[in-house]
Chain A
């Protein structure tokens, strides 16, 4: 069974469109995240969400909005797509106990190409 899954794996769309990427984790984790990996492989946090609070990286445009229907799902909705949004988007989850490593488990990534 896949621990963290994302759909779709590839997404090609035109500028100005609105698209969503879905993420599901079956690990029973409390917290989920979205990361963006650019063309130079640099990974940067976009959001974290633990069913109580959404933490938004201040550099993320408000065209990006996370939506969490329940603890196991954290979807990413993007409005008015721009060329610079082309990247690989990773969903991740972790169990946030008071102590422990809190390692994050990543989904397979969604490669978004905006033309």
Chain B
């Protein structure tokens, strides 16, 4: 079974500062992927960044980077230079292979609030 733990129900960050959102995972699969999604108050789910378990380098996408520590089973999201529009729920997820599909298992999310 796969499990995602996000220990921070809520976080505050000052505008233009960097913030780290924690995510730890537990999986028995030798090959897995880790995802971060953003859910603003409008409700849609927006894909941010992906890290494969065999990727040698940490993933980066613009202001988003993933601090992947495989031995510690953590995949923290780092947002640099926070903007007001970053205020949202952030979900960490891992995929598990099924028969022809890859279902996502989500954490409970972290609500990020950016303070002007």
User: A residues near B, CB below 8 A?
Assistant: 30-31, 33, 35, 40-45, 48-50, 52-53, 55, 57, 88, 90, 92, 94, 96, 101-106, 108-109, 111
Contact = CB atoms under 8 A, between A and B. Distances in A.
Given A43-B106, A45-B104, A103-B35, A108 B99 contact: no
Chain B interface size, under 10 / 10 to 19 / 20 to 34 / 35 or more = 20 to 34
Contact of B101 (A41, A50, A105): A50
B68 interface: no
Interface in B76-116: 89, 91, 93, 95, 98-106, 108-109
B43 A50 contact: no
A103 B91 CA distance: 14
B105 A50 contact: no
Contact of B102 (A41, A52, A102, A108): A102
Nearest to B35: A103
B12 interface: no
B104 A104 contact: yes
B26 to A, nearest CB: 17
Contacts of A104: 35, 47, 102, 104
Given A42-B108, A88-B43, A103 B103 contact: no
Contacts of A101: 33, 35, 50, 52
B100 A96 contact: yes
Given A55-B99, A103-B35, A103-B50, A42 B44 contact: no
Contacts of B46: 106
5 contacts: A33-B104, A43-B106, A53-B100, A96-B100, A105-B47
B45 interface: yes
Given A53-B100, A102-B95, A103-B35, A41 B89 contact: yes
Contacts of B98: 48, 55
A42 B104 contact: no
A104 B101 CA distance: 11
